[in-house]
Amino acid sequence: MPKLRILSWNINSVRLRIDSLRRLVRKLEPDVVCLQEIKVQTDLFPRQALERMGFCGGAIVGQKGYHGVATFCREPLDDHWSKAIGRSKDARHVAVTVQGVEIHNIYLPAGGDLPDPERNPAFKAKLEFMRALARWTKQWPARATARRVLVGDLNVAPLETDVWSHQKLKRVVTHSPVEVAHLEMMQRAHRWVDVARTVVPPDQPLYTWWSYRSPDWRRQNKGRRLDHIWVSPAFSESIVDFSVARDVRGWKRPSDHAPVLATLQL
């Protein structure tokens, strides 16, 4: 049976890192590439570069200088669309259907520096976005049978082993209890299965993001798992593999996020 290899990466400017993307595609040979934080308007996205990499179908939702998501597939798309989630007007969602699989690409708001919705409007907006996303996915039909995937930079590290220090980061945005509770709510809304923690036991440390502020990020390894791939219950028995392309974080002019790759049996 054929397999579907889905790559998700917060590229932090697609035009700045198009050469790294080309190198990554040659190395990992994904069937689907989902990018977040492309930081470019839709009409200025380097679509031809992706086409030369072998991706014939693509869907882009961009905006000038900030945010933005794009998904490209080696097979022609059956459909594609985007939704404004909650009150956010930013480019944070794009969905495609390919080979009977529905793939949602999400760039969830970062939330600023203070995990207090009363004192930090950006954090309040993050929580509102998560609640709106949960309400929307809960309404989707055929939750038990549809083959769906949700990927992206969700900007939350839920488990204690998803951060380098639970004690030091539990009062920091991305690992605060309220964010973790909201992420769990999002998972329950569609009974999503966390691909990474199906393959890598929950008691083992697993990171996808290392701050630019840490020049010796490899040795210090102060990471967080912010990038996720989830599948619907119908796909949970089809998980073959998951990996973090950690070495990409050390490439020239890197993103602070490492790509994640899931392999699913079709």
| Residue 110 near residue 122 (C-beta atoms within 8 A) | yes
pLDDT in tens, 236-258: 999 999 999 999 999 999 999 99
Arithmetic mean of pLDDT, 190-214: 96
pLDDT in tens, 144-159: 899 999 999 999 999 9
Angstrom distance (rounded) from CA 253 to CA 172: 26
Angstrom distance (rounded) from CA 252 to CA 143: 42
Angstrom distance (rounded) from CA 255 to CA 249: 6
CA-to-CA separations, 225 to 30, 210, 217, in angstroms, rounded: 21, 9, 14
- Helix or strand or coil: residue 28? helix
Q: Is pLDDT above 90 for 214? A: no
Residue 215 confidence (pLDDT): 81
Q: Is pLDDT above 60 for 196? A: yes
Residue 7 confidence (pLDDT): 98
| Residue 178 near residue 192 (C-beta atoms within 8 A) | no
Q: For the chain, what are the domain ranges? A: 3-265
User: Mean of the per-residue pLDDT values for the chain?
Assistant: 96
Angstrom distance (rounded) from CA 86 to CA 138: 14
Q: Is pLDDT above 80 for 40? A: yes
Residue 1 confidence (pLDDT): 56
Structure tokens at 82: 């985007």
Q: For the beta carbon of residue 118, count every other beta carbon within 10 angstroms.
A: 8
Structure tokens at 177: 């209890």
- Helix or strand or coil: residue 101? strand
Q: Bridge partners of 209?
A: 224, 257
Q: Is pLDDT above 90 for 143? A: no
Arithmetic mean of pLDDT, 45-65: 96
Using alpha carbons only, what angle is made at residue 122 by residues 121 and 124, rounded to the nearest 5 degrees?
60
Please state which architecture CATH assigns to domain 3-265.
4-Layer Sandwich (3.60)
